[in-house]
Structure 1
Amino acid sequence: MSDSIKVHILHCGHVQVDIAVPFRQNTLNPVAAAGIFRSKKHQVVVPVSAYLIEHPKGLVLIDTGWHTDLRGDQVKYMGRLGFKASKAILPEAKAINEQLLERGITAKELDYVVLSHMDIDHASGLKLVSEAKRILTSDLEWQAASKGGIRYLRHMWEGVPVRTFALEDSEFGPQQKAFDLFGDGSVLFVHTPGHSKGLTSTLIQRNGKFVLLAADTGYAKKSWESMILPGFTVSKRQALESLQWVKEMSLRPNCVEVIANHDPDVRPHTIEL
């Protein structure tokens, strides 16, 4: 097996939302990000990404995109409020299990599935890969998701053996907390809270170079370039700190690429370290 690390950026469909979801707006409408009292002219379509990491120590999937059930009754699946806020677009062959099978990979062959956080567009496809050897998210995110709410739909992971990891002291991240997946620094889940309580970005390192998968810390490259927060945050202060850290990482000379989960300018591709 090669000692290189391959990072495959996959688009598991798209989501149609109010533009205030990816890019916070100054507006008198307190529920703009939910699409309430907003016309269709404010709607945008952005990709929903997942990432497959081919690592010498195992296959790692980060996030899961949309479930195939969303090709049917979306209101029933997401609830009326959830459907009002976001509309799933999942063409044939684009669900995560379908894309893995196209690569000759079954869910049972995945060593890890890791959820950066448990918002619906990241956790929806979890049952499609529930036979993976280990399914993980941060303990902080699991605690928040277990409380439910419009952002967290428990039926998406009901019956799935989700385990949690604790965030430990690290040189990386605005909180200097991370989880080292393989214990060698090559794949770190760095705590970047603000958008959600337990959100993690993925830092992949080899031979002095790195790729940073920023999840929803910012929705696009312009988010950290212009310091535009996501529309939904649980802590604006922490969200700003996390976005600032992503910006600083993007400017390091050994940075290969920084990728946001919903950046419309990012196309599916593969990075090799």
Structure 2
Amino acid sequence: MITHPKGNIIIDGGTAMECATDPIGHWGEIITNVYWPVMKEEEGCVNVLKNMHIDPESIKYVIQSHLHLDHTGATGRFPNAVHIVQRKEYEYAYTADWFAAPGYIKKDFDRPGLKWHFLNGEADDFYDVYGDGTIKIISTPGHSPGHCSFLITLPNSGSILLAVDAAYTMDHWDQKALPGFLASAVDSVRSVEKLRFIAQQQNALVVTGHDPSAWPTFKKGPELFYD
């Protein structure tokens, strides 16, 4: 979550809270035979915010890096939110190839009444959400066709680059390995090269998406946060 004077923002929101009580019912047997979600109900996105005394109605935007099942926990949960996603990612989520289709849980994002704002690839690269440089959305396809990463610039903590799944681990970031899942190896490699340049340029703290070794080194809310 990012707090901002113009309205609070959620990026992705993790896994849907239904997976805490009924993983097979929500995700289905195909994907739960490969990935099993481990979470408690209080770890669902909305419940975490309520425990932090943050009103769900204060969320102005839900920004999606992509629409895979472990990143759509905030979609449709916040009544005033506009959902921002790459158009290519949204369209692919409904028409995914056989190897990728189980990773998209349509009941998460195919909800009546959702308000969407679509970005269009390179034409909207470095999309500045509030126009003040705080939150920029970077096009980083490869892991999925419309994947995005985020450059967050804070007053005291400086620049933080959320690679999300454009770089799974530091081995991927350091060009020693490809991620565990991808739509395009070529796009994945080029997106990491792009992010490495940005990180160097901005002297940014880099947060990869799924690195268990790096994760303990970061500040994590609600007790600790970057400002």
TM range (shorter): 0.7 to 0.9
Q: Distance in 1 between matches of 2:131 and 2:195?
A: 23
Higher share of residues assigned strand: 1
Aligned length: 214
Partner residue of 1:110 out of 49, 59, 75: 59
- Cα deviation code 1:130-150 (max 9, x no counterpart): 314312211111111122521
Within the candidate set 120, 127, 130, 1:179 is matched to 127
Secondary structure of the 1:188 match is strand
Identify the match of residue 166 of structure 2 among 204, 217, 220: 217
Q: Is the 8 A contact 2:86 2:121 kept in 1?
A: no
* Deviation, structure 1 residue 271: 1.4
- The answer to whether structure 1 residue 163 and structure 2 residue 110 are counterparts is no
Unaligned runs of 5+ in 1: 1-51, 171-175
> Quick check: 1:178–1:189 contact (8 Å CA) kept in 2?
yes
| Unpaired runs of at least 5, structure 2 | none
2:33 is paired with a residue of what secondary structure? helix
Cα offsets for 1:198-252 (capped at 9, x unmatched): 1100112256942111110111233202442212211111100011222233334
C-alpha deviation, 1:121, in angstroms: 0.4
Q: Which of residues 72, 78, 81 is equivalent to 2:27?
A: 78
2:92 corresponds to which residue? 144
Native 8 Å contact 2:136 2:152 kept in 1: yes
Equivalent residue letter for 1:82 = I
User: What is the DSSP-based 3-state SS (H/G/I as helix, E as strand, rest coil) of the residue aligned with 1:53?
Assistant: coil
Alignment of 1:1-273 (within 5 A): 52-127=1-76, 129-148=77-96, 149-160=101-112, 161-167=114-120, 177-206=125-154, 209-252=158-201, 254-264=202-212, 265-267=214-216, 268=220, 269-272=224-227
Whether the 8 Å contact between 1:203 and 1:211 is mirrored in structure 2 is yes
Which structure would you say has the larger RCO, counting Cα contacts within 8 Å and 6 or more residues apart?
Answer: 1
Contact 1:178-1:191 within 8 A present in 2 as well: yes
1:64 is displaced (CA, Å) by 1.4
Equivalent pair of 1:65/1:122 in contact (CA under 8 Å): yes
CA contact (8 A) 1:218 1:228 kept: no
Return the alpha-carbon distance in structure 2 between the equivalents of residues 234 and 196 of structure 1. Answer: 5
Q: What is the aligned-residue identity percentage?
A: 24
Q: Which amino acid aligns with 1:154?
A: K
